[in-house]
Amino acid sequence: MTGISSSDSDFALRPDKDDADLSPSRNLFLNWRINRGSDMVLRFTLRQLEYLVAVGDHGSVTEAAERVNVSAPSVSAAISQLEREFGITLFVRRHAHGLSLTQPGRSFVEQARLILAEAAKLNALSNELTGQVRGPLHVACLVTFAQAVIPAIRRTFSDAYPDVDFFQYERDHAAILEGLRMARFDIALSYDLDIPADMTFRELAVLPPYAVLHEDHPLAGRSEVTVQDLAAHPMILLDLPFSSTYFLSLFRDAGLNPRIVERTRDMSVMRAMVANRFGYSIANIRPIPDHALDGGRLISVPLSGNLRPMHMGLISMRDASPALTVRRFVDVCVERVQAMADMHPPTPSEPQKGSS
C-alpha cells in the first residue's frame, strides 16, 4: 500500500486545504499534454517534486513540511499522489528510524532534483532580464561557525532582498561538499579543507588556531601557547569530518600526539566541556561571548608557531554560472564578514585600543 501520512507511520492520503494546487482540475502541470498528437500527460507538479526531495533529504514528512513551509498533510498527499500515479512505492516506514527511500525512490529523488534545478534556471533567467533579486536561495554553512556567522549575514541579505526565499542548512564539511554536488545548495560557507577540483573557493577571512581554555587552566594566563605546551594536558576534540584532521595535524606535524579524553561533534558541547574543566580544545572561530552556554568562563589563547590557519570562504561549483541572487549573496558575505572581523575582540596577545 503506498502513500505517506503526516505522522510518518501510515499510508493514507489525507485532503488538506493547502492541497488545492495539487488537484488535476486546478494545476496546469497535471493537465498539460506533451503534444497534440500524444495522450501522454505529465503526471506530476514541480511542487510535488519539491516535497518529494524534501522528504528524501530529511527522512520525515514532519521535518520536510517544516523545511518547505507547508502542512505535513500537504506533503503526505503529494507523495501519495506521486506513488499512485506512477505505481511505485517511494518510501518505506522504519519504526523509530523515520522514512527510508526505496531503490526506485532514490532514483526518483535524484531525477526530481535535476528537474527542479533546471526549472530554477527560469527564475535565474527572469532575474537577469529584469534585474530583480528574487526566488529561492539555498545556503549551507559549516556547523562549527554557523551560529556566529550565518544569522547576521542572512539578516542583512533578507533586509536588502525581501523577495528571496532564504533556506539555510548547518552541515559538516563533507556534507556541504556532497550537497553542492547534488545541487541541494546554491553556495556554502566553509573552510578551505580539501576543496575538490570541480569546486571553487573564495576566501573571506583568515582564521588562525587558538586554544580554548577554562579560566583556571594552568595555561590560561599566557599570551600565547604552543602545541608542545598543550600536548601534556587532556584535550576535548571537536570531531567533525575534515576539521578533526586539521586539528590533529597541528600536533602530528610537530611529532606529537594529543591526550584526547573526549570527542564531540557539537561546538557548544565542546565549549561546555572545557568550561567544566574536562580539558582544553582548539578552534578557529572565537565567538564574542567568552562564556559557555552553562555559564563557565572561557579563555582564548592564540597558538604560536608556524601553524597553518583556516581560511573561511564561499564554496560553489566551478562550472556553475552564478545567478544574480547568488552574486548578491556573495556581495553581502564580503561586506558582513569584514564587519565582523572589525568587531572581533582582541586575544590576550593582541594590543587593546589605546594601549602602547
Residue 247 cell numbers, joined = 586539528
Give the residue-averaged pLDDT of 269-289: 87
Q: Is the pLDDT of residue 279 over 60?
A: yes
Given a contact cutoff of 8 angstroms between Cβ atoms, the answer to whether 120 and 167 are in contact is no
What was the pLDDT predicted at 14?
A: 37
Average pLDDT, the chain: 82
What was the pLDDT predicted at 124?
A: 73
27 falls in which pLDDT band (50, 70, 90)? very low
Domains and CATH numbers, the chain: 17-115 (1.10.10.10), 132-206+311-343 (3.40.190.10), 209-308 (3.40.190.10)
What was the pLDDT predicted at 135?
A: 84
What was the pLDDT predicted at 15?
A: 38
For cell 532582498, name the residue.
161
CB under 8 Å to 348, separation ≥6 — which residues?
222, 223, 224, 299, 300, 301, 302
| Phi, psi (degrees; rounded to nearest 5) at 354 | 90, -5
Give the residue-averaged pLDDT of 327-341: 88
What was the pLDDT predicted at 137?
A: 92
Given a contact cutoff of 8 angstroms between Cβ atoms, the answer to whether 346 and 352 are in contact is yes
Closest by CA position to 205, among listed 59, 7, 337: 337
Strands 234-238 and 259-264: parallel
Rounded to whole angstroms, the Cα distance separating 291 from 286 reads 11
Q: Is the pLDDT of residue 158 over 90?
A: yes
For the segment 67-97, what is each residue's pLDDT rounded down to a tens digit? 788 898 999 999 999 998 888 899 987 766 6
Q: Is the pLDDT of residue 53 over 60?
A: yes
Is the C-alpha dihedral spanning 181, 182, 186, 192 positive or negative? negative
- The string of DSSP letters for 142-160 reads ETTTHHHHHHHHHHHHHHH
Rounded to whole angstroms, the Cα distance separating 9 from 90 reads 14
Burial group, residue 132, by CB count within 10 angstroms (0-12, 13-18, 19+) = middle
Given a contact cutoff of 8 angstroms between Cβ atoms, the answer to whether 120 and 160 are in contact is no
Specify which of 187-191, 289-293, 319-323 reaches the highest per-range mean pLDDT.
187-191
Range scoring the smallest mean pLDDT among 6-15, 313-322, 328-337: 6-15
What was the pLDDT predicted at 346?
A: 44
pTM of the model: 0.65
Residue 340 cell numbers, joined = 565582523
CB under 8 Å to 229, separation ≥6 — which residues?
219, 222
